[in-house]
Amino acid sequence: MNRTRLFGLLTLSVLLAACGQTPAQLTPDATQAAAPAFVDGELLVQLKGGVNSQALTSLSALGVQSVETLTTVNGAALLRARITDGQGVTAKAQQLQASGLVRFAEPNWTYQTQALPSDSYYTNGTLWGMKGNFGSGAETAWAAGKTGSKGVYVGIIDEGYQFDHPDLRGNAWLNPFDPVDGKDNDGNGYVDDTRGWDFANNDNTIYDGGTRGSLDAHGTHVAGTIGGTANDGGVVGVNHNVTFISGKFLGRRGGNTADAIKAVDYFTDLKTRHGLNIVATNNSWGGGGYSQAMYEAIVRAAKVNILFVAAAGNSGTDNDATASYPSNYDTTAGAGYDAVIAVAAIDKAGALASFSQYGKTSVDIGAPGVAITSSVPYNKYASYNGTSMATPHVTGGVALYASLNPNATAAQIRAAILGSATPTASLNGKTVTGGRLNVSGF
């Protein structure tokens, strides 16, 4: 699929609502894209060479100070940098681009998730998204004994999640490479990353909600749809068996590109160095404009066969006309295939949700995203709306297919997901590429 790639620094329309606004809450101008948001006074800067005293001195002379090195690719360092001379982000990025010192300079875009309960009295436990008709068809797969595998891993790049929730604890990852001892035993730079890592707070505590459950509800909801375990009295995910790992980068104030890059690279490293069968990351978030640094992180993951499943957005707009990130990234040029699956939300009638973004070429598939009941802290359940809720249905489908086809490449899994979708000419007259998710034939 050809997705539009736009390189303007601050002119792109963005995905502001990766999840959660109910149709009744959409204002008359809700389909108007807002200006991209970024971290004030910061840039992502990739040097043309490695980090050395001369390069840092040159940056300092231009009013920029390195805060941290995010990664180094082909000898070129990617820096998170602070502007020190009071100049604005746009002007400073342009100055650096013109200096000849850097490969690129761009804003550190910020991302948000805005899932809200659609019904506070969620007592019936109806998981329509798992059934046939206009759901994912997972129920039919289960009846045939297809319930997933603990040997298939997915990364949840999101908020953290309540890993000891009754419906999640059976599928929560426990890192065998780095036991709790205050040391970085696996040498990845993260001490005691037993359940994953919290890049928002730079610690190993991936769940920060406590027993009141005031935080990490969104990530917990996503996890339950991907892999809530069976027969625990609550909900069940597309997979009864799967292993999920947290790459938390969304905190109290959302997240930013620098931390999202670190999360993506964390999963790439786990697969590359430890051979974990990580087949996909779930990305139910959005915001900001095009980021070359983010694109290249997704490409690095794609090259080791990790799919990037992303929410199309909740502004009701056409992503073919106005690019929305991260769902509009296309890794074909960098990885040889498109590793991104962009997901729209559909309702119980099989129609495109009124809030969902769409696109004939830029949005791949529709999945259940209205009145989706799943796990939330603390040991509870709630119903949410949004493309954030549709996305984990697809990630769950990826993991289910991978469990049944262990030798399939990421490109083959992606083709199978889109190829098995229920064809549809349009959803409310608005099109997506592959129709509605259907895992019943796996």
Domains and CATH numbers, the chain: 39-109 (3.30.70.80), 120-437 (3.40.50.200)
DSSP-derived 3-state class of residue 415:
helix
- Write the burial class of residue 183 (CB in 10 Å: 0-12 exposed, 13-18 middle, 19+ buried): exposed
Structure confidence at residue 14 (pLDDT)? 29
Structure confidence at residue 36 (pLDDT)? 72
Residues classed as catalytic: 158, 218, 388
Is pLDDT of 441 > 50? yes
Is pLDDT of 119 > 80? no
Is pLDDT of 6 > 50? no
Structure confidence at residue 35 (pLDDT)? 67
Structure confidence at residue 374 (pLDDT)? 94
245 neighbors 258 (Cβ within 8 angstroms): no
Q: Note the pTM of the prediction, 2 decimals.
A: 0.86
What number is the average pLDDT over the span 278-295? 95
Structure confidence at residue 1 (pLDDT)? 56
Instruction: Quickly state the pLDDT bin for 230 (edges 50, 70, 90).
Output: confident
b/e 196-218 (16+ beta carbons within 10 angstroms → b)? bbbbbbeebebbbbeeebebbbb
Is pLDDT of 32 > 60? no
Is pLDDT of 29 > 60? no
**Number of neighbours of residue 186 by Cβ within 10 angstroms:** 18
Is pLDDT of 369 > 90? yes
